[in-house]
Amino acid sequence: MGRQTGWSGVRERVTAVVRAERRAHDGGASQHAVFEPVLTAAQIAEVEAQFGIALPDEYRTFLTEVGSGGPGPALELTSLRRINGKWGWVWDHAEDHPWLLDPSGPFVETEDWADQQRATLRAAGHEPTTPDDEEDYLDDYRVAFGDAGDDVWHLERGRGAIHISDNGCGMTGWLIVVGPHRGELRDRDCATNPPFEPYVDVRGNRHTFHTWYLEWLEQQEREAQ
């Protein structure tokens, strides 16, 4: 895979691939935009101020040079939008339920998730019960936090990470923005509490946003030939 360091030409390359695919399926050119508008430096500053974090450099430059949403692995990227004065990540145009990053701590890797749940419940004055086979304490969260239990659980499970892509059939991609693996990506299946698995290249190296996106683009270009 090429090792360019920026996003030069990427918007045009993706646009060409997407429009060729649309012509092949629909028989004509589509007037629909391929990417959502890029964001300005001032808008990026608003996002970072709202959440109290610095976005990984590769993702920040993508937002300012390529687009704030659009095609990507495996179906599409989530879109970063301002909704009612607040920024959030939207998928499938569902602006009523944007992903709001919890920046209160580092992303919790799968092997540490059970310990994190128990610590949260005990801090709330609730002694955890026996979890199910997936090390899931969701029922305890519902007891400890009442009607907010589901939201607390889901937000904490994605703490320190952005829901970055819609992979279809409930599968999702995540970009870590807080913690020792900041800038890496994780893949997640569609079960209630599936593990977060690192995205890796053919050599087993963990992807960053840049290498992950370019690998997808180059595959799309090969398939279009």
* Segment 49-91, tens digit of pLDDT: 999 999 999 999 999 999 999 999 988 999 999 999 999 999 8
Residue tagged 């998730």 (tokens): 113
Contacts of 13 (CB under 8 A, 6+ apart): 217, 221
pLDDT reported for residue 193: 82
Nearest to 181 by CA among 115, 101, 107: 107
* Segment 10-21, tens digit of pLDDT: 999 999 998 888
pLDDT reported for residue 5: 60
* Segment 185-223, tens digit of pLDDT: 999 998 778 899 999 999 999 999 999 999 999 999 998
State both tokens at 38: 């890029």
pLDDT reported for residue 211: 97
Domain 10-107+158-224 sits in CATH at 3.40.1580.10
Region 84-104 average pLDDT? 88
- Confidence check: pLDDT of 23 > 80: no
Please, where are the H alpha helices in 66-208? 113-123, 138-145, 149-157
- Confidence check: pLDDT of 27 > 70: no
Model confidence at 3, pLDDT cuts 50, 70, 90, reads very low
Model confidence at 30, pLDDT cuts 50, 70, 90, reads low
pTM score, two decimals?
0.90
Centroid of chain to Cα 189: 13
Report how far apart, in Å, the C-alpha atoms of 205 and of each of 47, 115, 184, 201 are. Answer: 30, 27, 11, 5
Residue tagged 């949403």 (tokens): 69
The one-letter amino acid at 108: V
Report the 10 Å Cβ neighbour count for 187. 21
Model confidence at 32, pLDDT cuts 50, 70, 90, reads low
Indicate the helix (H) or strand (E) that contains 61: helix 57-65
- Domain layout of the chain by residue ranges: 10-107+158-224
Region 154-160 average pLDDT? 94
Region 34-44 average pLDDT? 96
Report how far apart, in Å, the C-alpha atoms of 116 and of each of 103, 120, 158 are. Answer: 15, 6, 12
Residue 155, CB half-sphere, CA atoms under 13 Å: how many? 17
